[in-house]
Amino acid sequence: MRLIPKLVLASACLLGSPAATAAEANDPIGHYYLSGMTEVGSELLLKKSGEFEWVLMYGATDMAAQGTWKREGQRIILTPHTPRPGKFRLFTEAELSIKKDPRQGIWVAIVGVPATGPVAGIEVRFESASGRKASAVSGPNGDAIAQMPAGETWKRAGLRRADSKDEWTWFDVPAERASKRIAGFVVLNPGELQAAPFKTLSLSSSEGRLSIDENPMGLRGTYAKAPGKAASTD
């Protein structure tokens, strides 16, 4: 039951884009796109605050990392954050787009980010008004699905990262959602939930481009800065 479309990255290749100015080339802050790996799309954002955001897509595999960056001579070093507990809220009715309600005996928690995509790996604990409990983990489509007797009424739901000892975040399920046995839960910090695919990533800087240094992932290629795109000042 897909609620929202998967993240689609922009083209990984900047062929035909104008070259960065000298000032842009000397300043590492900015938005970069990867070229040099077939069928791989990746973006990197270096922020003025010293933080970075990184995404990579290859086939059906999406990877992401957030953390801090620093400059060491001609190299940029990315260091991801350690995973953090999830932050959640309920989807509003305006954000939901549900074509079909589950059948009796099936309860569905949709986990994702509005207008961005689903979030996998979130454990949902379902609790009925009578105190009956069930648990499920959101899959690649963002759905966590549990079975409950037809006579039960959904009272509340708890969420946390799967396979973690995080504290549960509990929500009372709105009456309309409870009656239809399907509710949506927004992940407010999806980039902080899972371990990044690298402990550190080193990039060699030259004239507005960041070449990926040797790394255990086998990632290669060059990130080219998108001219005129200012980085976030967060």
DSSP string, 160-208: EETTS-PPPEEEEPPHHHHHHTEEEEEES-GGGSS--S-S-EEEEEETT
Give the separation between CA 69 and CA 53, rounded to whole angstroms: 10
Cα 63–Cα 65–Cα 70 angle in degrees, nearest 5: 140
Confidence band for 192, pLDDT divided at 50, 70 and 90: confident
Task: Report residue 8's pLDDT band, with 50, 70 and 90 as the boundaries.
Answer: very low
pLDDT in tens, 34-93: 999 988 999 999 999 999 999 999 887 888 888 999 999 999 999 999 899 999 999 999
Q: What confidence tens digit (pLDDT) does each residue in 137-177 have?
A: 999 999 999 999 999 999 999 999 999 999 999 999 999 99
CB atoms within 10 A of CB 199: 11
Whole-prediction pTM: 0.64
Residue 12 vs residue 168, higher pLDDT: 168
Round to whole Å and give the CA distance between 223 and 209: 6
